Chains A and B, each alone.
Chain A
């Protein structure tokens, strides 16, 4: 479905990503892990098109995404929830998700002027808010909410785009263990319903629990790939995380 082929990102001599390749299979929940500064978020940005790779290619459903603007990649089927949350603060939680749910009404700039009905999108948005368990704050502005709620809002908003592939950059960061477990269960449920997910996460307990496969990156290089428990027992991976095998 998604193929990352020999991606290198060179920031003025510093290789943030160094010749990384992996592919994503249909209906997978793939964990992309690695220590801080490993290059995971840069790789995510290469997929969404906000960072241009020095070399290599990204393709979705065999269609090459290189050279495509970020918004066209989103329209091609990539949804993202970012590490640093970015809700639209001038809108309520419900409006944030409603807007994303109406992406088909905003793809043609001029024609969007002639579309006014929001009822269907609003209903979809409410269902998504229920799914991520924040429907009680639907009419609140995001700036008044704690991080845990905004993380869930970002997830609902990304899902509203009906993406073929959902990229989640540290959705559990800043959550306590019980919140993290609840959100992980939501992700697992989504994947079981057929949602493709790439999860970047530092909470290894949850990653190992819910992911079917892991790709490990350290210093921009891929150092491991495979079934979670096997990967976590890999001495190279253990050294990267713990400084010893």
Chain B
């Protein structure tokens, strides 16, 4: 039972992490290849604060705030560069994070931080806490899509120049997407730290960034339910099947290539297309009858 609870907790944290990247990439169209760094900032912030005696519930918002603030700073790069250049810049953020943390003794250096305080909810309680946050973030994501902010994100993601000529403060909206996405990444990182009780720079390296990116791209950038489904499947498969964990990069890389070739808008789009096809065929048969 303990294993299943741990599995479900990891699943919930992955959903939060993937939804956070979806706000930047899926909603606002800004590529980020260094998202795990923001999970790392949240994880290290919360770990350090709780080890210093700050209550877990205060450490969580602090982790979100610091991640969000640094996210906005990184977001400024999105105002100067676009597309592939932004991808390379954000990839640099990932290496910068691991490189910096490795050299900081007060952050545990290469050895990382161990014995991170338990939130004190028990395993089931913590799992339910993570689930509650994942559900809240899902509802918030769906709400954003309905709001005028979401409508504007769609326009910016489609064509920044056109958005500008429709009177949109494109820079402001891009920074907002980075602020929201990286703050929630900080939340996911903090939850991760208190779940596994140990973090090191490698926990938030480039491979982890690609793992989160895979969840968003495979699920369908911008699709809340698609991203959640992909996060659920891709977070538990490596734990269920050892060979996937052993060949994680190979499997995720292969899946990314397959999705890009077969359905660039993600699996969710493929499912919708199939559903429409079947539904229309049944409707046609019904009309003919």
List the interface of chain A (C-beta within 8 A of B). 48, 50, 70-71, 74-75, 80, 82, 86-91, 99-100, 102-103, 105-107, 109-110, 112-116, 118, 157, 161
The A-B contact count (CB < 8 A) is 82
Q: Is B282 interfacial (CB 8 A cutoff)?
A: no
Residues on the B chain within 8 Å of A88, using CB: 154-155, 158-159, 162
Q: Verify A161–B166 contact, CB threshold 8 A.
A: yes
Does B152 count as interface, using CB distance less than 8 angstroms? yes
Closest Cβ neighbor of B153 among chain A residues: A112
List of A residues within 8 angstroms of B166 by Cβ: 74, 99-100, 103, 157, 161
Chain B residues proximal to chain A, CB less than 8 Å: 143-144, 146-149, 151-152, 154-155, 157-159, 161-162, 164-170, 172-173, 175-176
CA–CA, A115 to B167, complex, Å? 17
- Please tell me if the beta carbons of B167 and A161 are within 8 angstroms of each other in the complex: yes
Known interface pairs A106-B148, A110-B176, A115-B148; A90-B154 also in contact (CB < 8 Å): yes
How distant is the Cα of A86 from the Cα of B162 in the complex, in angstroms?
Answer: 6
Most chain-B Cβ atoms within 10 A of its Cβ — which of A86, A91, A99, A112?
A: A112
Contact B158 A112 (CB under 8 A): no
A14 CB to nearest B CB, Å: 23
CA distance A100 to B170 in the complex (A): 14
Distance in angstroms between the alpha carbons of A86 and B166 in the assembled complex: 11
Q: Give CA–CA (A110, B173) in the complex, Å.
A: 9
Q: Assess whether B164 is in contact with A109, with CB atoms less than 8 Å apart.
A: no
Q: How far is the CA of A83 from the CA of B172 in the complex (A)?
A: 27
Whether B147 and A109, one on each chain, are in contact in the complex, defined by CB atoms closer than 8 angstroms, is no
Partner of B165, one of A82, A90, A113: A82
Q: A88-B158, A91-B158 are in contact. Are A112 and B165 (CB under 8 A)?
A: no
30 A–B pairs (Cβ distance < 8 Å), ordered by A: A48-B165, A50-B161, A70-B165, A71-B164, A71-B167, A71-B168, A71-B170, A74-B164, A86-B162, A87-B162, A88-B162, A90-B158, A91-B154, A91-B155, A91-B158, A99-B152, A99-B155, A99-B166, A103-B167, A106-B148, A109-B149, A110-B176, A112-B148, A113-B147, A115-B147, A116-B146, A116-B147, A118-B151, A157-B166, A161-B166
B residues in contact with A114, CB < 8 Å: 147
Contact B147 A80 (CB under 8 A): no
- Indicate whether A89 sits within 8 Å of B158 (C-beta atoms), given known contacts A71-B168, A75-B167: yes
Q: Are B176 and A107 in contact (CB under 8 A)?
A: no
- What is the bound-complex CA distance between A86 and B170, given in angstroms? 16
Could you tell me the distance between the alpha carbons of A13 and B162 in the complex, rounded to whole angstroms? 29
A residues near B146, Cβ cutoff 8 Å: 116
Report yes or no: A109 in contact with B172, Cβ–Cβ below 8 A.
yes
A103: chain B residues at CB < 8 Å are: 166-167
CB distance from A122 to the nearest CB of B (A): 12
Tell me, in angstroms, the Cα distance from A100 to B168 when the chains sit together.
9
Name the A residues within 8 Å of B176 (CB-CB). 109-110
Minimal Cβ-Cβ distance residue in A for B151: A99
The minimal Cβ–Cβ distance linking B27 to chain A, given in whole angstroms, is: 12
Return chain A residues, CB-CB under 8 Å to B147.
112-116
How far is A43 from B43 in the complex, measured between Cα atoms in Å? 52
CA distance A163 to B148 in the complex (A): 20
B215 to chain A, nearest CB (A): 21
Given A112-B148, A116-B143; 18 other pairs, CB 8 A cutoff: A50-B164, A50-B165, A71-B164, A82-B165, A86-B159, A88-B155, A88-B162, A90-B157, A102-B151, A106-B167, A106-B168, A109-B176, A112-B147, A113-B144, A114-B147, A115-B147, A116-B146, A161-B167
Ranked nearest first, the 9 interchain pairs of A and B with the lowest CB-CB distance are A74-B167, A109-B172, A112-B148, A112-B149, A86-B162, A113-B149, A105-B148, A115-B148, A88-B158
* Bound form: Cα–Cα A101–B158 in Å: 18
Contact A116 B154 (CB under 8 A): no
Chain A nearest Cβ from B141, distance in angstroms = 12
Chain B residue at minimal CB-CB distance from A98:
B151
- Per the bound structure, the CA–CA distance linking A88 and B29 in Å amounts to 13
The answer to whether B148 touches A86 (Cβ under 8 A) is no
Give Cα A126–Cα B239 distance, bound, in whole angstroms: 52
Q: How far is the CA of A91 from the CA of B155 in the complex (A)?
A: 8
Shortest distance between the CB of B79 and any CB in chain A (Å): 12
Set of chain B residues within 8 Å of A80, measured between Cβ atoms: 165
In the bound complex, residues from chain A placing their C-beta under 8 Å from that of B173 are 109
Contact present for B167 and A107 (CB under 8 Å): yes
Quick check: B152 and A86 within 8 Å, CB to CB?
A: no
Residues of B within 8 A of A87 (CB): 162
In the complex, are the beta carbons of B155 and A109 less than 8 A apart? no
Chain A residues with CB under 8 Å of B167's CB are 71, 74-75, 103, 106-107, 161
List, in ascending order, chain B residues with CB within 8 A of A82's CB: 165
A100 cross-chain contacts in B, Cβ below 8 A: 166
